[in-house]
Amino acid sequence: MYKKKFKRPLDFFLSFIGLVLTFPIFFTVFILLFYKNKGKAFFVQNRPGKNSEIFKIIKFKTMTDQKDKNGNLLSDAERLTSVGKFIRKYSLDEIPQLFNVLKGDMSLIGPRPLLISYLPLYNEEQKKRHDVRPGITGWAQVNGRNAIGWEQKFKLDVWYVHNISLVLDVEIFMLTILKVFKSEDISSSTHATMEEFKGNIQ
């Protein structure tokens, strides 16, 4: 009942309230990044949503577009600015995704929308993470985020898909707030963000 009838209206209402309440933070971060990134405050990229349908995700841009002498982008760690580190530390880069929630591309709670290039790499079980709208935060994010491996992350995503409930979403929301204040699990053990998914171990 909750998944089919109440989750989407609740997402719309809460994301609208969230945008109103966070507007001062939104505006401040926008000005900082507009200056720091030479007019580019937002990061927009195609991502797969529910049923693998493609949508444009919007986030605050925390990394520069710096390239090496061969024209290749530098690593995430090298492109992550000091301002970007602070914004990522407190997950402020996720605020613009509230517009994605309003539009219906995303939910507040759900599996994170990953890269389109990962779609052919999922096994049949992992593909089930796309049976629901992707979320700004999710079960995998409050159980390790970027500090856990891909296999475990996908298991948590699929578990969430099979167990969606209002109680679970409230739990994830509260745990997310706690994680943000503690600044936990922002990076993997070897990367500034999350290492690339290269497919399942055979």
Q: Where are the domains of the chain?
A: 2-182
Residue 154 pLDDT greater than 60, yes or no:
yes
pLDDT, residue 190, reads 46
| 14-42 pLDDT tens trace | 999 999 999 999 999 999 999 888 888 99
d(CA 20, CA 42): 19
Q: Tell me what the pLDDT averaged over the chain comes to.
A: 89
d(CA 199, CA 99): 31
Please report which confidence band the pLDDT of residue 193 belongs to, taking 50, 70 and 90 as the band edges: low
Lowest mean pLDDT among 49-53, 73-77, 111-115: 73-77
- 3-state DSSP assignment of residue 38: coil
Under DSSP, the state recorded for 136 is E
Residue 160 pLDDT greater than 80, yes or no:
yes
In contact, 62 and 30? CB cutoff 8 Å: no
Residue 186 pLDDT greater than 70, yes or no:
no
pLDDT, residue 69, reads 77
Average pLDDT over residues 106-125: 96
- 3-state DSSP assignment of residue 171: helix
Output the pTM of the full model. Answer: 0.87
Q: For the chain, give the percent of residues with pLDDT over 70.
A: 93
Output the six-digit token pair for 202: 């055979």
Average pLDDT over residues 5-18: 96
In contact, 201 and 149? CB cutoff 8 Å: no
Q: For the chain, give the percent of residues with pLDDT over 90.
A: 64
Output the six-digit token pair for 29: 């971060």
Average pLDDT over residues 55-81: 83
pLDDT, residue 185, reads 55
Q: Which residue has the higher pLDDT, 49 or 187?
A: 49
pLDDT, residue 202, reads 45
Q: Which amino acid is at 64?
A: T
